[in-house]
Amino acid sequence: MLEIADLTIRYGPFLAVDHLAISVGAGEIVGVVGPNGAGKSSTVKAIGGLVQPKSGRLVFDGRDLGMVPPHKRVNLGISIVPEGRGLFSRMSVDENLVIAGDPLKDKAKCAHNIERCYEMFPVLKERRWQPVGTLSGGQQQMVAVSMGLMSDPRLLVLDEPSLGLAPIVIGEIGRALGELRKQGLTVALFEQNAKLTCSIADRIYILAAGKVRHHNRAADLLNDPEILDHLV
Ligand SMILES: Nc1ncnc2c1ncn2[C@@H]1O[C@H](COP(=O)(O)OP(=O)(O)OP(=O)(O)O)[C@@H](O)[C@H]1O
Ligand SMILES: [Mg+2]
């Protein structure tokens, strides 16, 4: 579904992503794990069209994304949940979801998708009229994931959803991703938290200094304490 080949991203002279190759197959949950500064967010932004790569190719469903602007990538079925969540904190949960549903250009579909988000995260329904800035960190992350789902994506790309969250909330987000996969969604999960990612993903790429250092099935990695302990 998504093929990233030879991706290189520079900020001035600084090399942030170095000939990266990652593939995500339809129906998979693929984890990309790496420490601070590994190049996770840069790669996510390149998928969303928010940074211009120095070189390399991004192909989605056989289509080269090189000349496709960010909003058209959403229309193709790619949705990004950015690091830092990208919420409108003074607006209510409902208002945030309506904004995220705008690409649908269909009010009834938008209302339907909002209800689906509330089924997935019932606590958000209780708080639907509350400004998002007054919610807990975990609830805000649920809003961010919900916003990512509003445009009916086929590929959901998450940038460090677990950041700053308590383990119980991380478990809740993991559960939701598992549910979504059962419904046919493909997920690319960029994370520092290796154990969380291995517990959710099918395959894992380990990233350091902009390069893939290791690639394996998540189940095999969970049995490889040398690599896992090194990461956590
Ligand atoms: N706008 C920018 N200008 C200059 N350097 C940048 C910029 N954005 C990122 N970098 C650098 O590029 C490298 C990769 O950054 P990136 O944000 O992609 O890493 P990351 O894996 O998401 O890290 P984190 O876990 O801290 O979010 C880092 O060394 C970072 O300092
Ligand atoms: Mg980042």
CB 40 within 8 A of CB 190: yes
Distance from the alpha carbon of residue 16 to the mean position of ligand 1, in angstroms: 7
Segment 94-145, tens digit of pLDDT = 999 999 999 889 999 999 999 999 999 999 999 999 999 999 999 999 999 9
Domain boundaries, the chain: 27-45+71-202+214-231
Distance from the alpha carbon of residue 36 to the mean position of ligand 1, in angstroms: 8
Segment 170-191, tens digit of pLDDT = 888 889 999 999 999 999 999 9
**% of the chain exceeding 70 in pLDDT:** 98
Distance from the alpha carbon of residue 42 to the mean position of ligand 2, in angstroms: 7
The fold of 27-45+71-202+214-231 is Rossmann fold (3.40.50)
Q: Is the dihedral of CA 187, 188, 192, 195 positive or negative?
A: positive
Task: For ligand 1, say whether the CB of 22 is within 6 Å of any of its atoms.
Answer: no
Task: For ligand 1, say whether the CB of 39 is within 6 Å of any of its atoms.
Answer: yes
Task: For ligand 1, say whether the CB of 193 is within 6 Å of any of its atoms.
Answer: no
Locate 162 and state its tokens. 């677990």
User: Pairing state of beta strands 2-11 and 203-208?
Assistant: unpaired
Whole-model pTM over 0.85: yes
